[in-house]
Every structure is written in C-alpha cells, then in structure tokens.
Structure 1
Amino acid sequence: MKARGFEVVSNYVGKGVHIPERKTSGSSGYDLEAAKDTVIRPHDVTSVYTGLKAYMQKDEYLMISIRSSLAFKKGLILVNGPGIIDSDYYNNEDNEGHIMVGLYNTSDKPVPIKKGDRIAQGIFMKYLTCDDDCSEGKRVGGIGSTGK
C-alpha cells in the first residue's frame, strides 16, 4: 500500500514532468515545478499546472506554499496561500487530482514562468479532527467540489 508521494497525471505522462524532491535533508518541502510555460499578467490570477497529483493517508494533506524567491524577486503570491490538497483530491473524477498553483502577480510587469521552474513547495502534514466528528461525505469532483 502506498503511503504518500507524487505521480504524474495521465495528460502529462511523457512530457518531462519531474517528481518533486526535497533539495536537502533539512528541507520540509518538495519543490513543485511548472509543467508548461505560462505568463502571469500584471495584477492577474493564473493557474500554473504542475502535471502532478499527490497521494497520502486519510489524516494527511499537502500544504502548498509559494517559494520565497518568487514572492520577493518576482512579486508573485499564492491566491489561496497556503493551498490545501486534501487526501481525497487524489484521482478525483474532475481532474484526476491535478495540482494547480494559483498565483497572483502583484507587479506591473508580466512574469514569465518556464516549464521546469520551481514555483511552490508541497509539505505533507497530519491533521486532527474533533472527538464527535462523524463526517462521511464523499468528494465528487475537483477544485471547489466540497462547497457545492
């Protein structure tokens, strides 16, 4: 049984998408790369595709954080920072669990993102629930599906 990790979504298999790695033994995050070239226009929100999905245990989530160099040097911020990828997002029927990073450009200049640029970090986290929690709902889609 798989415990936690990353896979390439089917639409990006064979397209040079890299499985994320931690760069040092002390790094908490796995660097996520852009799966294709994207330009983020000034004062605009853009979804940057990673070509990845993440699997994990039911009591875990993947926290997405912006790489500090993008924030400080390029003026990019996460739209929903930090982003949360729930365990049941994996292989959902809408988009197979494709992780997309929503970035906002705070600057007055377009910011090009090249395929392979490291755009975010994914950090696997555990979470707790209330003693009387009895949620038995089931995800039926991708982004925003639990709020329908």
Structure 2
Amino acid sequence: MEGRGFEIVTTYAGKHIHLPVRKTAASAGYDIEAAEDTVLAPQAVTIVPTGLKAYMEADEYLAIHIRSGISIKNGLMLVNSVGVIDSDYYNNPDNEGHIMIAYYNTQSEPFSIAKGERIGQGIFVKYLITRDDQAQGSRIGGFGSTGLR
C-alpha cells in the first residue's frame, strides 16, 4: 500500500466508525473517535478502542496525541505520553493493526467516553535512521510486540 491513510478494522466493519479527518486546512492532526462507549476508572489505565488501523510509508509512523480539550478539562492523560504506531503495525497478524489508546484517569471519579467522541489525534511523521542501522524483520504482534529490550 502506498501513501498513508486510515481503514476500519474487520471487527468494527458495519459499526458506524468514522475515518479520521482534519478539521481545518492548517490542522496537523486527524481527529480520532472512540469506537465504543468506555468508562475510564479513577486512577487507573483503560484502553479505548478506535476501530481503526493506519497505513503509511516505511519511513513514517503515526503519532497518537490526546486532544487538549479532553485532557485539560477532565484530568486525563495518555499512559505513554505519545503513542507510536509503526508502519509494520498495519495488518499485523495479532490484531490487524487495531489502534487502541491507553488513558490514565487522574481523577477520583470515573470518566465516561461515548462512542464517536473525539478522543485523540493522529499525526503522520517522517523519521530518519542511522547510517549503520541493522534492523531486520517485521512485527508479528500488537502492544509491546518488539520485546522488552
């Protein structure tokens, strides 16, 4: 696949998932919505499905950021600060490349996210590699699939 874009993962086909869009011509990020109603438990990590996967060029990644409105107004943060979706995550055999966003609710009360609510934004980014880079192979799984070291 050439270029970059978003698709709906098979398990969410026909479930009224919207492909991400930029709201203005100068917006860097594509707004990503929740694929289902989710309650974020207080002071805990909760993973919110998006029903999406992303394809991109081999020297790109998709950076997942929290939307400032949902974070500042509600005390939410991404567990890993910025999610990194590598190009070989697309269509991996473990989960088809399903993008899921891990939130931490800093508040003492549960926080509800409704299906279709804009919960994050994805920004496609080019990256560079070192002259002596020796990375080989490709991903075969989902979260944490490249190992602990």
TM-score by length of 2: 0.97
RMSD: 0.8
* Correspondence 1:1-148 to 2 at 5 A: 1-147=1-147
The CA deviation at 1:127 is: 0.2
Identity rate, percent: 61
CA distance in 2, matches of 1:6, 1:23: 16
CA distance in 2, matches of 1:50, 1:138: 23
The CA deviation at 1:114 is: 0.1
SS of the aligned residue for 1:72 comes to helix
CA distance in 2, matches of 1:53, 1:40: 22
The CA deviation at 1:141 is: 1.0
Gap runs ≥5 in structure 2: none
SS of the aligned residue for 1:70 comes to helix
Give the letter aligned to residue 65 of structure 2.
Answer: S
- Where has structure 1 moved over 4 Å in runs of 4 or more? none
CA distance in 2, matches of 1:47, 1:114: 14
CA distance in 2, matches of 1:11, 1:40: 22
The CA deviation at 1:137 is: 2.5
Gap runs ≥5 in structure 1: none
